[in-house]
């Protein structure tokens, strides 16, 4: 590995890229970074439900201890639960061993800042520099860190969620839910949270299993067929699926229809902005225009950022946003914490449905209709800058172009929709997102700019 951090921490196949030696060295690098500002940093560490977690957690813990960090083990828990504990219990940092939605042979290390947010890119680069320099000072024997365990993180986290929703209204509604935790870390929070809200819960894949035997961890339509069939069979108001580390929630309506993340995002955003009488909602430039249309209709404002939940979270704090998130089901509720949080998302959806007293499918049908097309095409990493420069020159002369946004890649607005062309930060590819009210126009936009990138690469 010549670069450690991707878009979501450090990830790799266990005992190939992601080894105990790497985890040990990462622990030392993280500890060295933290000790630049504090002699005895405190670090919370936790894991998702993967079978390689103990190996990597103990190695990373050893590295942290050897540098002089005090480490507190929070056990197996969702990523947002650890993030909340870091913020609320005043840890200097957190480390979560997880590969989120990746297959079971993968695992990873994600570092959490002292405020509970994911590290910014410059912080990751600093840790990366320490790791590769191998210039890590040894700590004297009497400065080695201490180790302890704490099992109160989940209760603390659930208490906060319950304080930020209308518990009585939800309980009185007695909503029937099919919950699919995907055998991941969500198993340790979501089932008990829904029961505390007096929901009638049908559990699916709610036993932790590091092999993800129930279904692949990514909550996409092809992996949620069982959930989509069970929801109408059970007469449930909705179904919900989590990813491996439970920071994202994807919904299924009462008819068994998959609800794409941009739709649930827009629905909850409309509800929150309406309740607040306005406010700012923050999201990446890749998000559907559906969000902006509903937020503006309620007197709110959408602020666009580069792609990445840590960027969204930091902009939310800066502009005092009321809500934010991404179209993949990762939503951020600032009154609770500044990170993606599936359990908080589920609780807020319960509140919304309890107050609206209408089916989820009906609420989704009310939202503006947009067609989104996503494509990708190969591009060597060393050609990405050249492609971006040439693409910018070409689109500047296009007659159909009404405006251009360069927040992240190039987003081109036309009379009939928009197209976003951006280089991947982790793979040798360009991603192309196109949107229009009509599928054919979205297809044409995506295909046109995919070919344009390919022509420049050649």
CA distance 291 to 266: 5
> Hey, how many other C-beta atoms are within 10 angstroms of the C-beta on 247?
32
Token pair of 123 as six digits: 């912080």
Token pair of 229 as six digits: 């069939």
Residue pair 228/361 in contact (Cβ under 8 Å)? The answer is no
CA distance 386 to 430: 12
CA distance 128 to 407: 25
The CB-side HSE value for 458 (13 A sphere, CA atoms) comes to 7
List the catalytic residue out of 42, 100, 160, 288.
100
Token pair of 328 as six digits: 């993949």
* Cα–Cα separations (whole angstroms), residue 41 to 37, 89, 146, 356, 397: 9, 13, 11, 47, 54
**In 286-299, which positions are buried (b, 16+ CB within 10 angstroms) versus exposed (e)?**
bbbbbbbebbeebe
CA distance 179 to 313: 27
Residue pair 411/420 in contact (Cβ under 8 Å)? The answer is yes
Helix (H, G, I), strand (E, B) or coil at 4: coil
H helical segments located in 13-75 = 20-34, 53-67
> Has 100 been annotated as catalytic?
yes
Burial class (CB in 10 A: 0-12, 13-18, 19+), 133: exposed
**What is the DSSP code (8-state) at residue 115?**
T
CA distance 77 to 155: 11
H helical segments located in 211-308 = 225-234, 261-276, 289-297
CA dihedral 63→67→69→70, nearest 10 degrees, is 70
Token pair of 10 as six digits: 């450090």
CA distance 21 to 192: 37
Active-site positions? 100
């Amino acid at each position: 590995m010549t670069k450690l951090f991707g878009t979501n921490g450090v990830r790799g196949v266990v005992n190939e890229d992601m080894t105990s030696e790497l985890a040990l060295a990462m622990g030392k690098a993280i500890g060295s970074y933290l000790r630049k500002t504090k002699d005895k940093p405190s670090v919370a560490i936790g894991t998702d439900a993967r079978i390689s977690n103990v190996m990597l957690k103990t190695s990373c813990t050893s590295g942290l201890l050897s540098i002089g960090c005090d480490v507190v083990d929070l056990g197996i828990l969702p990523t947002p639960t650890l993030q909340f504990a870091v913020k609320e219990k005043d840890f200097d940092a957190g480390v979560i061993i997880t590969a989120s939605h990746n297959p079971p042979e993968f695992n990873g290390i994600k570092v959490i800042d002292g405020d509970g947010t994911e590290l910014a890119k410059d912080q990751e680069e600093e840790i990366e520099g320490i790791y590769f320099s191998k210039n890590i000072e040894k700590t004297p024997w009497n400065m080695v860190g201490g180790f302890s365990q704490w099992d109160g993180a989940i209760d603390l986290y659930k208490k906060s969620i319950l304080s930020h929703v209308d518990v009585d209204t939800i309980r009185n509604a007695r909503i029937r839910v099919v919950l699919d935790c995907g055998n991941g870390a969500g198993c340790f929070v979501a089932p008990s949270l829904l029961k505390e809200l007096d929901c009638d819960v049908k559990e699916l894949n709610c036993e932790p299993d590091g092999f993800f035997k129930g279904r692949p961890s990514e909550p996409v339509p092809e992996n949620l067929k069982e959930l989509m069939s069970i929801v109408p069979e059970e007469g449930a108001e909705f179904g919900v699926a989590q990813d491996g580390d439970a920071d994202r929630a994807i919904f299924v309506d009462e008819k068994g229809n998959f609800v794409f993340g941009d739709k649930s995002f827009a629905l909850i955003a409309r509800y929150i902005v309406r309740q607040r009488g306005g406010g700012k909602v923050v999201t990446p430039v890749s998000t559907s225009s559906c969000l902006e249309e509903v937020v503006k209709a309620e007197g709110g404002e959408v602020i666009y950022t580069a792609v990445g939940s840590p960027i969204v979270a930091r902009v939310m704090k800066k502009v005092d946003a009321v809500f934010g998130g991404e179209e993949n089901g990762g939503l951020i509720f600032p009154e609770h914490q500044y990170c993606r949080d599936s359990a908080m998302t589920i609780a807020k959806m319960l509140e919304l449905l309890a107050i609206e007293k209408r089916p989820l499918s009906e609420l989704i049908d009310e939202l503006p209709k947009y067609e989104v097309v996503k494509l990708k095409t190969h591009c060597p990493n060393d050609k990405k800058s050249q492609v971006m420069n040439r693409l910018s020159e070409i689109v500047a002369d296009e007659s159909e172009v009404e405006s251009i946004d360069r927040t992240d890649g190039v987003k081109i607005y036309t009379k009939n929709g928009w197209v976003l062309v951006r280089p991947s930060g982790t793979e040798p590819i360009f991603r192309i997102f196109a949107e229009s009210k009509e599928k054919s126009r979205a297809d044409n936009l995506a295909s046109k700019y995919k070919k344009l990138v390919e022509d420049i690469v050649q």
